A and B are shown apart, each in its own frame.
Chain A
Amino acid sequence: MKLLTANRLTDGLVLWYAGGPDLSGWTEDAALATRLEDEAAAALLEDWKARETEVVAPYLVPLLDENTLVKREYVREHVRANGPTAGQTAFDTARQHQRGEVF
């Protein structure tokens, strides 16, 4: 299983693919990301790599199961999915979406 993630071109914010053919199908909330089968994920990645006016630097985040990231990438993806773990940002992703942390 994999997740597809990228940054939005216009503001650079982290997005997660949640289904659908266009940018409206992406979400800023990692908790809503679609769990993709490997083959489908690879095809989607190739599709979105070419859509450079919408997203930048798309890549796949591998999962061991429904909610566990591959260990090697855990810290980075945890921070990316949940926002900075420190700082004066009042827009921490988890708080923004009124839920606990992802992963």
Chain B
Amino acid sequence: MYQYDQFDHAMVAARNAEFKDQVERRLKGELSEDQFKPLRLMNGLYLQLHAYMLRIAVPYGVLSSRQMRTFAHIARTYDRDFGHFTTRQNIQFNWIKLADTPQILEDLAAVEMHAIQTSGNCIRNTTTDQFAGAARDEIDDPRPWAELIRQWSTFHPEFTFLPRKFKIAITGATRDRAAIRVHDIGLQLTDKGFDVYVGGGMGRTPHLGHLIRSGLPGEKLLSYLEAALRVYNRYGRRDNIYKARIKILVSALGPQEYARQVEEEWATLDQAQIDAPHAEIARIKSFFPQPAYADKAFDAAALDRAKAADAGFARWVRNNTLAHRRDDHVSVTISLKPTGLPPGDASSAQMDVMADAADRFAYGELRVSHEQNVILPHVAKADLYDLYRLLDQNGLSSANVGKITDMIACPGLDYCSLANARSIPLAQDISQRFADAELTDKIGDLQIKISGCINACGHHHVGHIGILGVDKQGEEFYQILLGGRADEQAALGVITGKGLSAEAVPAALERLIKLYLDLRTDETERFIDTVGRLGRDAFAGALHEPA
């Protein structure tokens, strides 16, 4: 993974010293809340429903065991012993004291992390495929490019006050695991360069991104992004917060006209001054080598015997591992979706266990996925059973990755000031309703995504089943969307019928799933495929018939 150089260290140290001074001045009353609020937000510190929340960037979802232990330390020392992994590959702590924040940021800087640009109308943490550098279907590793964007976008003077926040996602594999089509800019690495998608997004007005350029050479990435951002910065709506994202501009201009303006702007730029030289790209790439793979003798028969003797282990291997570029390794997803607990949460003890697991079995490396799980990208098959037992002893062996209980859920009204409805209790109810592992295996791949408000932090627009919490005259209701997907066949879900009460949702989903199981051609036809084949209307009745 990337290591800070003297410039990174100096920039973060200077920012932390500045913020420490600002906090002290706020506590003394030398700064008003109106003056201080934008300063704390620039450092990832929000005032939420119950307390301050600190959002820490995990750059493109990559972190070391040492960094994970620092999260555990923060949870234990400054918070209430847990953290929440988010849909943007970040981590949030929900119970932070203002006076502790400078020390927390110093603790983070010691392990080359920060909370800069995790809020505000700037370029946020670039996200990518959680299996980058490991997946068998990878064309090119997106991490060096994400790091290049991190360096270019951090403190970029021209893009600090954009019309609205700006989110970039990259994938380098044939399967899109980074949801690039619902980002402001989505980048698909191909063997010919980058395909550039612009104007995707969720929230109040969901759009899929439009392809505006194919085969952009990597060496030209930064200057092209600069041109794309410049057009947005110049013409994006600043008069209406609900129309300020780039998706609205691209929709208003039309993708072709927007692309033309980007090309025109790009032609005027001094590209050589902006683009990274070959040597710099090579330097950054040098930080992302393959691990020094251990040549551990793999006994396939022994693995089969362990699976035969332990059904839980067999299910975990089947559901939580992904083919690796090497035959003797796999990538392992640690599900943070145990039955009946908040999606994406991990205790400090669990964070320490995950760090230990990374050191013992995964070359010290972890990832965070936008599905709110933690990944060990490189695990020798020979170590799988030992890893499973370690995770199982610590409540981290839920074998439900990609299944109905592997839900995305935003914090919702339990924590968030913006939310209209709760997400976590609903996720817990659904999780308990579908707790039977044999049933979830029978249902197969199915993504439920829950948002507590229209901002769509829970990605409800691209859930196979999306759930949106709304407030109707002081009561929580949940609209159900069907047919969304965030992969390479990205599609937006459509609201199906009227909203349901929280109590009615699990039973409605049960009816929906029963109908799917009745209608699917065979067990290989996934829920999303059956909905695609028969249409959403075929399922609407099941959602809304009386229980």
Interface of A is mostly: loop
Q: Nearest chain-B residue to A71 (Cβ)? A: B474
Cross-chain contact of B27 among A14, A53, A72 (Cβ < 8 A): A53
Q: Are the C-beta atoms of B342 and A79 separated by less than 8 Å?
A: no
- From residue B421, how far is it (CB to closest CB) to chain A in Å? 7
Report if B47 contacts A (CB, 8 A): yes
Q: Are the C-beta atoms of B414 and A87 separated by less than 8 Å?
A: yes
Q: Are the C-beta atoms of B98 and A87 separated by less than 8 Å?
A: no
Cross-chain contact of A89 among B32, B48, B80, B428 (Cβ < 8 A): B80
Report if B177 contacts A (CB, 8 A): no
Report if B139 contacts A (CB, 8 A): no
Report if B50 contacts A (CB, 8 A): yes
The answer to whether A86 and B49 touch (CB under 8 A), given A9-B27, A9-B98, A10-B97, is no
Interface size range on B against A: 35 or more
- From residue B283, how far is it (CB to closest CB) to chain A in Å? 41
Binary B-proximity of A67-103 (CB < 8 A = 1, otherwise 0) = 0001111111001100111111111000000000000
The answer to whether A74 and B413 touch (CB under 8 A), given A53-B29, A85-B425, A88-B347, is no
- Expressed in whole angstroms, the Cα–Cα distance for A71 and B474 within the complex equals 5
Cross-chain contact of A7 among B32, B47, B341, B342 (Cβ < 8 A): B47
Residues of B near A14 (CB, < 8 A) are 49-51
Binary A-proximity of B85-114 (CB < 8 A = 1, otherwise 0) = 000000000111111000000000000000
Of residues 65 through 84 on chain B, the ones whose CB sits less than 8 Å from some CB of chain A are 80-82
- From residue B501, how far is it (CB to closest CB) to chain A in Å? 12
Binary A-proximity of B345-356 (CB < 8 A = 1, otherwise 0) = 101000000000
Q: Are the C-beta atoms of B471 and A10 separated by less than 8 Å?
A: no
Query: Interface residue count for A (Cβ, 8 Å)?
Result: 29
Q: Are the C-beta atoms of A86 and B422 separated by less than 8 Å?
A: yes
Q: Nearest chain-A residue to B427 (Cβ)? A: A86
Q: Are the C-beta atoms of A75 and B474 separated by less than 8 Å?
A: yes
Cross-chain contact of B29 among A52, A80, A88 (Cβ < 8 A): A52
Q: Are the C-beta atoms of B80 and A79 separated by less than 8 Å?
A: no
- From residue B494, how far is it (CB to closest CB) to chain A in Å? 26
- From residue B531, how far is it (CB to closest CB) to chain A in Å? 29
Q: Are the C-beta atoms of B347 and A11 separated by less than 8 Å?
A: no
Q: Are the C-beta atoms of B32 and A52 separated by less than 8 Å?
A: yes
Residues of A near B96 (CB, < 8 A) are 12
Of residues 12 through 64 on chain B, the ones whose CB sits less than 8 Å from some CB of chain A are 26-29, 32-33, 47-52
Interface of B is mostly: mixed
Cross-chain contact of A87 among B47, B52, B424 (Cβ < 8 A): B424
- Expressed in whole angstroms, the Cα–Cα distance for A14 and B345 within the complex equals 22
Q: Nearest chain-B residue to A90 (Cβ)? A: B80
- From residue A76, how far is it (CB to closest CB) to chain B in Å? 6
Q: Are the C-beta atoms of A83 and B50 separated by less than 8 Å?
A: yes
- Expressed in whole angstroms, the Cα–Cα distance for A1 and B414 within the complex equals 26
Q: Nearest chain-A residue to B48 (Cβ)? A: A12
Report if B195 contacts A (CB, 8 A): no
Binary B-proximity of A38-72 (CB < 8 A = 1, otherwise 0) = 00000000000000110011000000000000111
- Expressed in whole angstroms, the Cα–Cα distance for A91 and B81 within the complex equals 11
Report if A32 contacts B (CB, 8 A): no
Residues of A near B29 (CB, < 8 A) are 52-53
Q: Nearest chain-A residue to B35 (Cβ)? A: A52
The answer to whether A12 and B47 touch (CB under 8 A), given A85-B414, A88-B81, is yes
Of residues 183 through 212 on chain B, the ones whose CB sits less than 8 Å from some CB of chain A are none
- From residue B484, how far is it (CB to closest CB) to chain A in Å? 24
Q: Nearest chain-B residue to A7 (Cβ)? A: B47
Report if B475 contacts A (CB, 8 A): yes
Cross-chain contact of B345 among A80, A88, A90 (Cβ < 8 A): A88
- From residue A81, how far is it (CB to closest CB) to chain B in Å? 10
Q: Are the C-beta atoms of B51 and A10 separated by less than 8 Å?
A: no
The answer to whether A11 and B52 touch (CB under 8 A), given A72-B474, A89-B80, A91-B80, is yes
Residues of A near B98 (CB, < 8 A) are 9-12
Residues of B near A91 (CB, < 8 A) are 80
Q: Are the C-beta atoms of B422 and A70 separated by less than 8 Å?
A: no
Residues of B near A7 (CB, < 8 A) are 47, 51
Of listed A71, A72, A76, A87, residue having the most chain B CB within 10 A:
A87
Binary A-proximity of B383-425 (CB < 8 A = 1, otherwise 0) = 0000000000000000000000000000001110000011011
Residues of A near B422 (CB, < 8 A) are 75, 79, 85-86
Binary A-proximity of B486-499 (CB < 8 A = 1, otherwise 0) = 00000000000000
Binary A-proximity of B466-493 (CB < 8 A = 1, otherwise 0) = 0000010111100000000000000000
The answer to whether A10 and B80 touch (CB under 8 A), given A70-B474, A87-B342, is no
Residues of B near A86 (CB, < 8 A) are 342, 414, 422, 424-425, 428
- From residue B40, how far is it (CB to closest CB) to chain A in Å? 11
- Expressed in whole angstroms, the Cα–Cα distance for A73 and B471 within the complex equals 9
Cross-chain contact of B471 among A52, A70, A75, A83 (Cβ < 8 A): A75
Residues of B near A71 (CB, < 8 A) are 473-475
Binding site for B on A (CB under 8 A): 7, 9-14, 52-53, 56-57, 70-76, 79-80, 83-91
Q: A57-B47, A89-B82 are in contact. List 11 more A-B contacts (CB 8 A).
A: A10-B27, A10-B99, A12-B47, A14-B49, A57-B33, A74-B475, A75-B476, A80-B49, A84-B415, A88-B347, A89-B94
15 contacts between A and B (CB under 8 A): A9-B26, A10-B98, A12-B47, A12-B51, A12-B98, A13-B50, A56-B33, A71-B475, A75-B474, A75-B475, A80-B49, A86-B424, A87-B342, A88-B82, A89-B80
Nearest 7 interchain pairs by C-beta: A71-B474, A12-B52, A12-B51, A84-B414, A86-B424, A11-B97, A53-B29
